[in-house]
Amino acid sequence: MNTNSVHISKKLLSNKAVFSLTPFTLLDYPHKTACIVWFAGCNMQCLYCYNPDIVLGKGKINFNEVLTFLKTRKGLLDGVVLSGGECTLHKKIIDFIKEIKAMGFAVKIDTNGSNPKILNSLIRDQLIDYVALDYKSLPHTFKKLTQSGLFSEFQATLSLLIQSNIPFEVRTTFHSSLITESDFIQMIKYLESQNFEGNYYVQHFMNNVPTLSKLDHSTKEIQLKDFSTPKIKIIFRE
């Protein structure tokens, strides 16, 4: 698809779906300088979520304002990270990404995997360049942890990414009161059963930060062990 010829009317992109904008990051898009567009709202209410203001809040910035900002960053940034919240929920997200791609930016999306239909469209039309997929937990704890019944959608998204050629990562936030060591081992086995190979990133829950739910202190003992398998390398991130 030639996105250089795409132009969407301003009226279509006037919806205020964006909560805030981080103008520069070296950490959120592998090997690229980028900005982060934080989308308001989410269809999961994860107990450990660090962004309750974003998940529960309303948009303050419309797509046109973001595009105006991006025009000033041509040649200065490599990419744009669409995060949240859940970016794939929003109307006109595809049109918005078309405009970003037309400016020459690479696009990464952070997603909980709940919208495989939209993701499939984005991959098919070559509108995204990298995906970070949040792997919350296994089915028996998924509903409690996320306050949703969307595991089958996550599973469809994982399958879609594995079958595609798009670079992606799978990542989990680990809280010792929500995911046991036994659960974690089963989570790795589940990825193997889905024919996933590569790096599996695990970030430990940060204690003493505002979250959607009040949680007990999480220990880091799990990081003392090597859970990697011949096909999956476990990488703990701070």
Tally of domains in the chain: 1
Amino acid identity for residue 9 in this structure: S
Query: What's the burial of 3, exposed, middle or buried (CB within 10 Å: 0-12/13-18/19+)?
Result: middle
Per-residue pLDDT at 2 exceeds 80 = no
Per-residue pLDDT at 14 exceeds 80 = no
Alpha-carbon span 82 to 35, nearest angstrom: 9
Taking alpha carbons only, the member of 167, 204, 229 closest to residue 50 is 204
Long-range contacts of 28-31 (CB under 8 A, 24+ apart): 28/81, 28/83, 28/108, 28/110, 29/78, 29/79, 29/81, 29/106, 29/108, 29/130, 30/130, 30/169
Domain range for 39 is 3-237
The percentage of residues in the chain with a pLDDT greater than 90, rounded to a whole number, is 91
Q: What is the pLDDT of residues 130-188, one digit of tens each?
A: 999 999 999 999 999 999 999 999 999 999 999 999 999 999 999 999 999 999 999 99
CATH number at residue 194: 3.20.20.70
Q: What is the pLDDT of residues 183-213, one digit of tens each?
A: 999 999 999 999 999 999 999 999 999 999 9
Please tell me the pTM assigned to this model: 0.94
Contact assessment for residue 172 and residue 151, using Cβ atoms and an 8 Å cutoff? no
Tell me what pLDDT residue 1 has.
45
- Over residues 113-124, the mean pLDDT reads 98
